[in-house]
Amino acid sequence: MSLEQKIALVTGASRGIGAAIADALGAEGAMVIGTATSEDGTSKISERFAEKEIKGKGLILDVTHEGSITSVLEEIRETYGPLTILVNNAGITKDNLLMRMGNDEWFDVVNTNLNAVYHLSKGCLRGMMKARWGRIVNISSVVGSMGNGGQSNYAASKAGVAGFTRALAKEVGSRNITVNTISPGFIETDMTDTLLEDQKALMLSAVPAGRLGKPEEIAGVVKFLVSDAAAYITGENIHVNGGMYMS
Amino acid sequence: MSNPSNTEERVKKIVAEQLGVKEDEVKMEASFVEDLGADSLDTVELVMALEEEFETEIPDEDAEGITTVKLAIDYINAHLD
C-alpha cells in the first residue's frame, strides 16, 4: 500500500465526497484524520474507519475558526507525527441571488470554502517543508470555472481556491510539495440532494455522461494526486464532471 | 546562558546546511540572498531552522530583518539569555 506511514488530514469527512476521500486514503494505508463540525459527525467517521480497518479517527474541527485549526494541527502532530497530506474538502453553499444576498451568506461561504484553505495550508506547510514532501489537494467545484446563477458567493470562493492553488504550487514546487485542485461537477451527495427534481433533470441534460458522479470518482483522483505517480503534477485544476465542462 | 562564540558557530553551521554552501563561505557580512544564493523560501526555512536550533520563536517582522549572517547571530544573542 503506497501511503503507509503517511498522515493525512481530510476536512469535512463525515459524508459525501470527503468521506469517500478519507476512506480511499485509508485503504491505501495512510493514517487518516477526518474532521467534522459535530460530535455526531466525528463518531460516524471513527466508526466507519474502525469498520473498514482504517488507521486514524474523526476529530472536531470548525474550519472557520483559526484557533480550532491550530489546536487540531497541534494535536495531530503530537499524537501521530508530521502531517504531509492535506485535503481541503469542507465546503458549504448558501445560495441566493446577489441582489438578495446577505453579508452573512457571503462571508460564511467564503470563510468556510476559501479562508479555511488559507489557514489549513499555512498550518501544514512547515511540516511538509521539513519532510521535503507534501501533498495539498483542494476540492473546488465546476461552478468556480463556469459560474452558476444564485451562487456568486460559492463560485467566488471556489475560483479563489483554484487561484490559491496555482500561487502556492509555485511557492513550494522546489520542495517536493504539490498543490492541486479538483473541480467536481454534479456528484451524488447531500449538497446535490437538496436540488429539486426538475433542477436535477435540467442539469443532467448538460452532462454528456448522463448521470451524476459518485463520491468515489473524486476520491480516485485524490488518491492519484497524492501518489508518487503524480509527483510532476502541480498547480493543476482537474475537472471531474462527466463532460459538462471542458477547460 | 548562550556563549557568543558558540552561537556564532551554531548559526554558521545551520546557514551552511540550509543553503548548501561550505562553512567557510559563511562570512559574517554575507547576505543570504546576494552572497549565498538563497531564494525567499530558503530564507523562510533558514529562520525555521534557527527557531528549532535555539528553541525560540522569531516573529515574522523580526525574521524579515535577518538578512545576513551577522544579523542572525546578533538577533540570537540579543534574544537568548
CATH number at residue B59: 1.10.1200.10
pLDDT at B3: 66
Answer yes or no: is A1 within a domain: no
Answer yes or no: is A245 within a domain: no
Instruction: Please tell me the total count of domains within chain B.
Output: 1
Instruction: Please tell me the total count of domains within chain A.
Output: 1
Reading the block at residue A178, the C-alpha cell is 504539490
Does the beta carbon of A15 lie under 8 angstroms from any beta carbon of chain B? no
Helices (H), A173-242: 190-193, 197-204, 215-226
CATH code for the domain of A23: 3.40.50.720
pLDDT at B2: 54
Active site residues per annotation of A:
154
Q: Which residues of A83-96 are buried (b: 16+ CB within 10 A; e: fewer)?
A: bbbbbbbbbbbbee
ipTM above 0.85, yes or no: no
Look up the domain containing A92 and give its range. Answer: 7-240
Chain A closest-CA separation from residue B28 CA (Å)? 26
Sheet arrangement for strand A134-139 = A56-60, A31-36, A7-10, A85-88, A134-139, A177-184, A237-240
Answer yes or no: is A247 within a domain: no
Q: Is A14 annotated as a binding residue?
A: yes
Look up the domain containing B15 and give its range. Answer: 4-79
pLDDT at A72: 96
- CB contact under 8 Å between B48 and A174, yes or no, is no
Answer yes or no: is A79 within a domain: yes
Confirm if A98 and A152 have CB atoms less than 8 A apart: yes
Chain B residues with CB inside 8 Å of A171's CB? 41
Q: Is A92 annotated as a binding residue?
A: no
Closest B-chain CA to A170: B41
Per-residue pLDDT band for B4 (boundaries 50, 70, 90) equals low
Q: What is the dihedral of CA A168, A171, A174, A177, to 10 degrees?
A: -20
Chain A residues with CB inside 8 Å of B44's CB? 129
pLDDT at residue B5 above 80?
Answer: no
Digits of tens for pLDDT over chain A (247 positions)?
689 999 999 999 999 999 999 999 999 999 999 999 999 999 999 999 999 999 999 999 999 999 999 999 999 999 999 999 999 999 999 999 999 999 999 999 999 999 999 999 999 999 999 999 999 999 999 999 999 999 999 999 999 999 999 999 999 999 999 999 999 999 999 878 887 788 888 889 999 999 999 999 999 999 999 999 999 999 999 999 999 999 8
Q: Is A131 annotated as a binding residue?
A: no
